[in-house]
Amino acid sequence: MKPQRREIVVFTPGKQYSGEVDIPNVDFRTTDLLNSTNLFWKDPADKNFDDVLLMFNVTLSIDGIREFQKFARVQIRLPNIIFFHDNLTTLGNAEEKKRAEALKAKTREEKKAIHLITQVRFNSFFEIKGSFYGLFKSKSIQRYLPLSDVVMHEMIKQPDSWKKKKIHLSNNFLGVNTKYIESCVFD
């Protein structure tokens, strides 16, 4: 039986890994997977480090080289992941969506806008604008902050100036590592 997998893209300082991760079921959110204290592994005997994401059919890209290297499988240390995104446009069954709407109404959660600046790594940093639901304080204690409606730019240091490069996301969703957030403004 072929394992259930989901395509994701993971950004680390200076690198981008595009590939697949094992998921326990198709309704499982990618953010929930990466925020879990125990990452899901189809075969736990494969695990080498305690803090890694195991990816399959991976293409490693670096600035200027789209397909720098390919791997059948690779382990990426979670503390090095700045952010990730998947290509899902919808997720969740009808019952889960109904429960989420009821919870939003009960807690009076509103959509909030946020503008983030990440720490500088090597010669760049990221400027991220997006939205989230819920209390920021409770979201910020998780490993990854889930954002929707994302517009993101990478600011790259050139010899005499900064270059602004737009980052394309397939569904305007992003999970940002809270440890990489240097500053934020709530709009």
Which regions of the chain are under pLDDT 50? Answer: 91-93
Question: Which pLDDT score is estimated for 23?
Answer: 85
Q: Supply the DSSP symbol for 36.
A: S
Question: Which pLDDT score is estimated for 3?
Answer: 67
Alpha helix (H) residue ranges in 49-157: 94-107, 136-140
pTM > 0.85: yes or no: no
Structure tokens at 146: 């889930």
Q: How far apart are the first and last CA of the chain?
A: 48
Rounded to whole angstroms, the Cα distance separating 62 from 12 reads: 10
